[in-house]
Chain A
Amino acid sequence: MRNLLRFLYKYYFFLLFLILEVIAVAMGIQYNLYQRARFVSVTENISAFFNESISSFSDYFHLVETNRKLSLENTRLKNQLQRIYRSDDLFFFGEKDTLHRQKYFFTSARVINNSVNRMHNYLTLDKGRAQGIRPEMGVVCPDGIVGITAGVTKNFSSVISLLNTNFHVSAKLKKNDYFGTLSWDGQDYRRALLSDIPYHVPIETGDTVVTSGFSAVFPEGILIGIVEKAEVENGNFYTATIRLTTDFKHLVYVDVISNLEKKEQKKLENYD
């Protein structure tokens, strides 16, 4: 007993280190292995408050670029509207039309914190539960997809960026509808990987990759990127490098998509 105590006293520094290190490493591993809805803590609110003041200041530097993008998008939308009206009035359905079911609802939000240089990148948006944001909603910008909301507080929400090694989304080739899984390997904030595309599918540099709409998070056909190169990996599947159309370093305004029929779809899919 005395020897044990002496041993503990002699090596307490190493033993204490070992115990604490095991706790820390276990926390880290658990986070790395399992994707979890993010725990929104008090610190989230504190840092969100400061980030908002920082970003309200830094927004001025991006005004020119943001204006240009908004005006471009306006033009694009106007063109679309024009086309729909001109070709046939029947194609245009108002929101109150009983024949038409509105499936997606877009909420505009401002990015108040963002990073691209971690393995697990997150964004913070200035809209939260009070503005109708809920966990697991898709986030897009005019150029392409951005991520999925995770933690939501009253006035802020945090988004798992596409640039997060835990992020996966179902994506397909626009030209032939073959789908695979899109993920990020943590290397380059401009490129992601599309895997699980079968070997027999013709896939070429320059093919457009869009969302498949299977997950009930993103609508079908939202732009993700362009195939840069495709390689056959372990036998039967392609892994394609995708050049992302979203510029994650210049995100200012994004849209959060709520799927009004998600509950119904999930209920059906979980029914067995």
Chain B
Amino acid sequence: MINQLFRYILLFIVLVFVQVLILDNLQISSFAVPFLYVLFILMLPFETPGWFLLLVAFFTGFVMDLFEHTYGIHTAATLLMAWLRPGVLKLIAPQDGYVPNSEPMIRDYGFAWYMKYSVILVFLHHAFLFYFEVFTFHHFFTTLFRVFISSFFTIFLIILSQFSVYKSKGVGRG
């Protein structure tokens, strides 16, 4: 239990550092900013109680707001994502449900399931984030383009992280 907690704290610190020190300095184009830190919300265990999920999301978003100097924008987007997470998990649940002690990762539920899970949540997070940042629907399609490109990079990095970081043994099906 303590071990598990320690693992998540470490993951949080690593994700914040990667986001602030590498991704924010990596100017791929003026349209694309990957926000890999949302992976933290995706990684939380299935059994996470709702209130805890929301508080973690609030804290994560707030820390990102501090570093990005955006005040509330990341907090609001991450909260929305955390709130939608249980619903999305129910929506895309495999036929025999989620196995206890398994984690929302590729190694437990497969590539197709994980793609659905991450694409839906990351896209909604990015859409809310970018439209809230622009604060107008004036340049609707420019912003939409931004959302698509950035989501693409974020999802790419998330999938990449699934294959590289955790190599411990699988618990779920298969």
Contact = CB atoms under 8 A, between A and B. Distances in A.
A117 B27 contact: yes
A116 B30 contact: yes
Interface in B46-102: 50-51, 54-55, 58, 61, 65-73, 75-76, 79-80, 82-83, 86
Interface string A22-39: 011111111110000010
B27 A27 contact: no
Interface residues of B, number: 38
Contacts of A187: 139, 142
B51 A28 contact: no
A10 B60 CA distance: 26
A14 B86 CA distance: 11
Contacts of B54: 13, 16-17, 20
Nearest to B130: A119
Contacts, number: 97
Contacts of A43: 66-67
In this complex, the interface size class of chain A, counting residues with CB under 8 Å from chain B, is 35 or more
Interface in A25-58: 25-32, 38, 41, 43, 47, 50-51, 54
B14 to A, nearest CB: 14
A233 to B, nearest CB: 14
30 contacts: A12-B50, A13-B83, A17-B82, A20-B79, A21-B79, A21-B83, A24-B61, A24-B73, A25-B76, A27-B71, A27-B75, A28-B70, A28-B71, A28-B76, A31-B70, A31-B71, A31-B73, A41-B66, A47-B20, A47-B67, A50-B21, A54-B25, A117-B27, A117-B29, A118-B33, A118-B133, A119-B133, A158-B69, A187-B142, A189-B30
> Which 5 A-B pairs have CB atoms at the shortest separation, nearest pair first?
A27-B72, A28-B72, A24-B76, A24-B75, A13-B50
